[in-house]
Chains A and B, each alone.
Chain A
């Protein structure tokens, strides 16, 4: 299990203890951005492609830093655009070397994600379905079959 450097419940004294030079889990000497020079493969998903957000819950197993909201996991959406690649914030947060990952804007049908909310409005509309647009990293999405 990965030990967090600083936990929200820690007292100042505990934080102070943890934030010493010989604390075993702190490795701030690595610059994650420049260290992550591993070659980046081509983007996996095309604009307009239907994808699913992985229904995975790594926070149940260990301390993690995630940018994939829990409410969208397991839901299907459509790739709107690829923003390019960014150092993986899941690694940056822990000071680890952070390989770059492709980041996508993915559109979801709001009513499909929240089927019990505002159903009357959804039925009476003449516009397209309301959307949620979410930035998601490539390793969190898979082809929707």
Chain B
């Protein structure tokens, strides 16, 4: 499976948090069940806490070991390619687009992505007049069933603080200046929904089919941290 966007193009957290930036070899990704964006092994204290918690949950009959393993497998296997397929279908199929924007969870299930046990999914559409950016200032809420694990920068204090204070500067620092004619809407994912962005379809892609369109959709675009373009001479390279 291709985890191109998860490992090859880490976006550094805004501002001085760049000092917290770590590179990690792709071979390390998914080598264990914990967050693949962390380059460190988890702290023994955290592992001990997790062990005690799961032992308690299983012991009290609240979950079974099999359920825990199954849920972890779903999360481990999810990548942004799930969300990308939903976006590509929405670009091609007006009925699916309406479903996606009115009931994101139903739209995910319609493509075979189980949302069992997941919070409801809301999807917001980026247009030439509105740009949405997703953040979770309280923690790191993220639609993991459809995007996989959140990137390290998404969980950084710098991103979480600055996304709500000055989103235009954050986007500009990533090479995404938002035109003055476009309103920025920051979704702070504070409670019971998870949020995904339906990005704008790049110009010049009329000839592409759904599968080819899905390959254009980056992980970051699905949370408003990227603007999609038709690749020209350097396919899929977004190094910046």
Q: Does A93 contact B (CB under 8 A)?
A: no
Contacts A28-B60, A125-B180; A133 near B49 (Cβ below 8 A):
no
Q: Is B49 a contact of A12 with CB atoms below 8 Å?
A: yes
- Asked whether any CB of chain B lies closer than 8 Å to the CB of A142, the reply is no
CB < 8 Å: which of B48, B137, B189, B191 contacts A12?
A: B48
Per-position binary interface string of chain A over residues 87-130, scored 1 when its CB falls under 8 Å from any chain B CB and 0 otherwise? 00100000000000001000100100110011001001111111
B183 beta carbon closer than 8 Å to chain A:
yes
**Are A83 and B183 in contact, CB atoms less than 8 angstroms apart?**
no
Contacts of B23 in A (CB 8 A): none
- Tell whether A131 is near chain B: CB-to-CB under 8 Å: yes
Residues of A within 8 A of B203 (CB): none
Interface-located stretch among B161-169, B215-223, B227-235:
B161-169
Q: Are A110 and B186 in contact (CB under 8 A)?
A: yes
User: CB distance A15 to B49 under 8 Å?
Assistant: yes
Within residues 38 to 65 of chain B, which ones have a CB less than 8 A from any CB in chain A?
45, 48-49, 52-53, 56, 60, 62
Chain A proximity of B165: nearest CB distance (Å): 5
Interface residue tally on A, bucketed by range: 35 or more
Residues of chain B from 148 to 187 with CB closer than 8 A to chain A in the complex: 164-169, 180-187
A130-B166 Cα distance, complex, nearest whole Å: 10
A135 to B60, CA, bound (A): 32
B192 at the A/B interface (Cβ < 8 Å)? yes
Cβ–Cβ < 8 Å partners of B190 in chain A: 67-69, 134-136
B138 within 8 A of A: yes
Q: Which residues of B contact A16 (CB under 8 A)?
A: 52
Q: Mark A25-53, 1 if CB is under 8 A from B, else 0.
A: 00010000000000000000000000000
Residue B237 lies at the interface, judged by CB distance under 8 Å to chain A:
no
Contact yes or no, B137 A69, CB < 8 A: yes
**Chain B residues whose CB sits within 8 angstroms of the CB of A28 once the complex forms:** 60, 62
B129 within 8 A of A: yes
Contact check: which of A12, A19, A114, A134 meets B188 at CB < 8 Å? A134
Assuming the contacts A103-B191, A134-B190, asked whether A114 and B181 have C-beta atoms less than 8 A apart, the reply is no
Kindly state the separation between the CA atoms of A134 and B62 in the bound complex, as whole angstroms. 31
Would A132 and B60 count as touching, CB distance under 8 A? Answer: no
Bound Cα distance from A129 to B62, whole angstroms: 47
Q: Identify 30 residue pairs between A and B in the complex whose beta-carbon atoms are under 8 Å apart, listed by A's number.
A: A12-B49, A15-B52, A16-B52, A19-B52, A67-B190, A68-B190, A69-B137, A69-B138, A71-B164, A83-B120, A89-B191, A89-B192, A103-B192, A114-B165, A117-B166, A118-B165, A121-B180, A126-B180, A126-B181, A127-B180, A127-B182, A127-B183, A130-B184, A132-B188, A133-B185, A133-B186, A133-B187, A134-B190, A135-B192, A136-B191
Query: Footprint of A on B, CB under 8 Å?
Result: 45, 48-49, 52-53, 56, 60, 62, 120, 129, 137-138, 164-169, 180-193
What would 5 more interface pairs be, CB under 8 Å, given A83-B192, A132-B186, A135-B190? A15-B52, A89-B191, A103-B192, A121-B168, A135-B189
